[in-house]
Amino acid sequence: MNGLRLKLFSFSVRGEPFDSPFALRFSKGERFAQDKLVEPQKNTFARASNEFVKSLKMRLSVIPAKAGIQLFQIVINYLDSGFHLSARHRQAGVTTFYDSINYEYLYSLHLTPYGLTLWGISSAVRLMKYRSIHEINHLAPEERAKVYRSLIPPSVFTIFGIDRNNLANRRGEKVVQFHTPESHGFASIDVKQKPDDLDSIFFLQISDTPFMDNLELSFVVINDPRGERFSIDRDEEGKDTLFGTALRNEKEEKRAMMAGLAPGQVRPGLRLLREFINVLERFASRLSISIISGEALFYHNAIQYERFGFGYLEGRKRMEEIDREFLVGGKLYERLDGLTPFRPKGADRSVRGRSWAIQDGILGEPWLSPKIYKPVGKSVGVNTFHGKDY
C-alpha cells in the first residue's frame, strides 16, 4: 500500500427504493450510491472506467491535509441539491466531490477517526486486483485461467476425466479453451471431450454490464456428448438455425422432442445447471457483484431459472399470462389440437410440452426472451408454472 493513491470524482443519484431491481438501470454512480449508502458503516469501492468511486457516509468538516485531499465538499440536508437520506431510505440529490486521497496515511491512523474501517481499505486493495471481467482479462494468462476455471462445474472434470490443473483429458489433449480479450469486458469458456468435437460439454459466456455490481450471464450450454445428437441447429439446407430461434428443422426437432429433449437442445443435458448457478454465484460474490442478469432463450429455460431463484426484470406478466392460457379453458389450451406433432393434447401439463408448442408458434406471435435476474445468495421466489411436471 506504500504511496497508494486513488483518483476519485463526483457523482449524482436520483430517488429510488433501495430494493428496486430497476435500480439496475441506473448509471454507475447512481447505482453505487443507491446500493451502498444505506449501509452506514460500510465503506465500499466501485470501478468506473479505470478509476474508483469512494463513498463515505458520515458528516465531516475536515479531513487531514496529510491525507492529500485536494478538493473536498459535502452538502448534507441543507439545500435541495444536497445529499441526504429521507426517512423512507430514498435519496434526494447529490453533490460529493473528492480528488486524490492518500490511503497510506489514513491506514496508519487505523482509520476509525474517519469512519473508515480496516476491512474497507483491505477490500479496496483486494478489489483493485480484479473487480470486473475487463480487469480479469488484464491479468497474466496463467492467473486469468485460474480465475475462470472456477466457473466450470466440478462434476464436468470428474465425469469426463479432465485434469483441473493442466485442463487436459485422459489422452493428454487440452480440452478447455478460454477466450478473454483484453480489449473487451466479456469472457467465454469452452470445454470439450476431445479438441476436435463438434459440440461442447460446457460453453459459457459472461459479460460486464454498464452497472457496476451486475454480471451478465450471456450464454450457457451444458451437453452430454455421449448422448445421441439431433441436428436442430441446421435446417435441411444446412443453414444455421441459431438453435431453432431463427430457422427450424422440424424433422430433427420432432426426433429431439420424442427423445425427451427440449427446444434448442442438440444433445441430452447433464443436469448440472444448479451446480453451475452455485459456482457462478460464488464467482460473482468474489467480485463483490450482487446481481446476475440474463435472458431466457426459451420458455423452459425461464421456468428452470425460476426454480433456481431467478426473477424477472422484464416478461413476468407475459409468463403469467402464458401460464393462465395453458390452463383448462384458456386460449393456448384450446389450441393444443394435435394438428402438428408439437401441439398434442396434454402438452399443457409439462414445461417441455408447453415449450415445444411455443416453439411451434402457438402463441401467434414471436417468443420474446424474458429478462431475468438473481440476487447473489438469495432466491426471488417466482413461480409462473402451474402444470404438473417438467
At position 134, the amino acid (one-letter code) is H
Q: What is the pLDDT of residue 152?
A: 98
The answer to whether the CB of 269 falls within 8 A of the CB of 202 is no
Q: What is the pLDDT of residue 212?
A: 79
Q: What is the pLDDT of residue 184?
A: 94
- Give the helix ranges, DSSP H, for the chain: 28-36, 103-108, 118-129, 133-136, 141-149, 154-160, 250-258, 273-286, 299-307, 316-326, 331-334, 351-359
Rounded to the nearest 10 degrees, the angle between the axes of helix 351-359 and helix 299-307 is 150
Q: What are the Cα distances from residue 175, in Å, to 89, 107, 139, 195, 362?
A: 50, 46, 22, 5, 40
Q: What is the pLDDT of residue 298?
A: 98
The answer to whether the CB of 224 falls within 8 A of the CB of 153 is no
Under-50 pLDDT residues of the chain: 1-128
Provide the grid cell at 208. Answer: 460486464
Provide the grid cell at 82. Answer: 444536497
Q: What is the pLDDT of residue 350?
A: 98
Q: What is the pLDDT of residue 96?
A: 36
- Identify which of 128, 133, 126 has the alpha carbon closest to the alpha carbon of residue 182: 133
Q: What is the pLDDT of residue 130?
A: 75
The answer to whether the CB of 8 falls within 8 A of the CB of 99 is yes
The answer to whether the CB of 199 falls within 8 A of the CB of 234 is no
**Interatomic CA distance for residues 349 and 368, integer angstroms:** 22
